[in-house]
Amino acid sequence: MAEFVTLEVSDGIGTIRLTRPPMNAINRQVQSELVELSREVSRRADVKAVIVYGGEKVFAAGADVKEMARMSYHEMSEAIGELQAGLSAIASITKPTVAAITGYALGGGLEVALGADRRIVGDNAKLGVPEILLGVIPGGGGTQRLARLIGPARAKDMVFTGRFVGADEALSIGLVDEVVAPDEVYNAAVAWASKFTGAASQALAAAKAAIDQGLDTDLNTGLAIERHLFASLFATEDRTIGMDSFVEHGPGKAKFIGK
């Protein structure tokens, strides 16, 4: 049973919540529990979309520095794979994901949020990767996902300086996708996730895989990935349902079953 990361499922939406007070510092146990629950929501047929949430006050203020401060090079060399897997766990979920962010999302906390497909923040949010101020760099995917999301120059500015970015700037540079009042963050995430509770689940998974895998390769290889995934959907029941419904009733009327 997870202690610091919980999962609640309601109406097809799974909420993975960080619950390690006071600031949701991400230690090795939190990392392990993120991996465990990310695998669970990917596996569960009753979960159609996923929200990752830190609560009303803070998303996550970073990795647990006290835990790693006395680690040697050898110890970190052995632990870094698990650290990166934990902070990248949300990115492994095969379903639509949204990070609902209030307050601070810093260091490892921001790296967790970068693994989501969408980020919704309160207008009080502060985001950053301040690891440089500790004499290190982001190690949970931050240098790679941040550069892919906002471009290398902006990513280098954030990583090199360690500065915090407010909600408005984060929106303007594409780091986040929506800014709302802090007490509306979770509701806004539910509204987005709800769009997919009746969708063709396997088509959504294929779309996500095509985009994510395609970004990691050249165009021709990406097109080959797309061809394979597109053709594979012709083996699903939802493809038959969707096309038959379109022919008979027009667009947007299909009742998908997730198979």
CATH of the domain at 9: 3.90.226.10
Please determine, for residue 222, whether its predicted confidence score (pLDDT) is greater than 80: yes
* Cis preceding linkage at 22, omega within 30: yes
Q: Are residues 65 and 176 in the same domain?
A: yes
No. of helices (H) and no. of strands (E), the chain: 11, 9
The Cα 254–Cα 248 span in angstroms is 10
Check pLDDT > 80 for residue 47: yes
Catalytic residue among 36, 40, 56, 131: 131
84 and 100 part of one domain: yes
Residue 69 φ/ψ region, left for φ over 0, alpha for ψ in the -120 to 50 degree band, beta for the rest = alpha
The domain spanning residue 226 has which CATH number?
1.10.12.10
Cα–Cα distance for residue pair 120/102, rounded to 1 Å:
9
Q: Flag whether pLDDT at 201 surpasses 80.
A: yes
Q: Tell me the Ramachandran region of residue 49: left when phi exceeds 0, alpha when psi lies from -120 to 50, beta otherwise.
A: beta
Q: Indicate whether 166 and 231 sit together in one domain.
A: no
Position 7 scores a pLDDT of 97
Distances (CA, A) of 26 to 69, 153, 191, 227: 14, 27, 27, 39
> Is position 131 annotated as part of the catalytic site?
yes
Percent of the chain residues topping a pLDDT of 90: 99
Strand segments, DSSP code E, in the chain are 5-10, 13-18, 49-53, 97-101, 104-106, 118-122, 126-128, 165-166, 178-180
Supply the pLDDT for residue 16.
98
Q: How many CA atoms lie within 13 A of 246 on its CB side?
A: 7
d(CA 204, CA 189) in angstroms, rounded, equals 18
- Asked if 52 and 113 count as a contact pair (C-beta separation under 8 A), the reply is yes
Are residue 150 and residue 229 in the same domain, yes or no? no
Active-site residue 3, yes or no? no
Give the model's pLDDT for residue 106. 98
Report residue 135's pLDDT band, with 50, 70 and 90 as the boundaries.
very high
The pLDDT-based confidence of 205 (bands split at 50, 70, 90) is: very high
Residues 83 and 156 in one domain: yes
pLDDT range class, residue 175, cuts 50, 70, 90:
very high
Mean pLDDT of the chain: 96
Q: Residue 225: what pLDDT?
A: 98
Q: Which domain, by its residues, includes 231?
A: 201-249
Q: Considering 196, 218, 236, which residue would you say is the last residue of a domain?
A: 196
Q: Is residue 1 predicted with pLDDT exceeding 80?
A: no
- pLDDT given at position 200: 96
Average pLDDT in the 72-100 region? Answer: 96
254 within some domain: no
pLDDT at 2: 79
Q: Report if residue 37 sits inside a domain.
A: yes
In a domain, 258, yes or no: no
Dihedral, CA atoms, 141, 47, 170, 109, nearest 10 degrees? -40
Backbone phi, psi, residue 65, to 5°: -65, -35
Does residue 229 sit in the same domain as residue 154?
Answer: no
Residue 257 lies in a domain: no
8-to-12, 29, 258 alpha-carbon distances in Å: 10, 19, 20
Confidence of residue 219 (pLDDT cuts 50, 70, 90): very high
Catalytic residue (one of 111, 178, 226, 248): 111
Residue 115 in tokens = 């693994």
Residues 88 and 53 reside in one and the same domain: yes
Number of CB atoms found within 10 A of residue 57's CB:
15
Count of domains for the chain: 2
Mean pLDDT within 175-192: 98
Percent of the residues in the chain that have a pLDDT greater than 70, as a whole number: 100
Question: Whole-prediction pTM value?
Answer: 0.95
Count CA atoms within 13 Å of residue 85 on its CB side.
Answer: 14
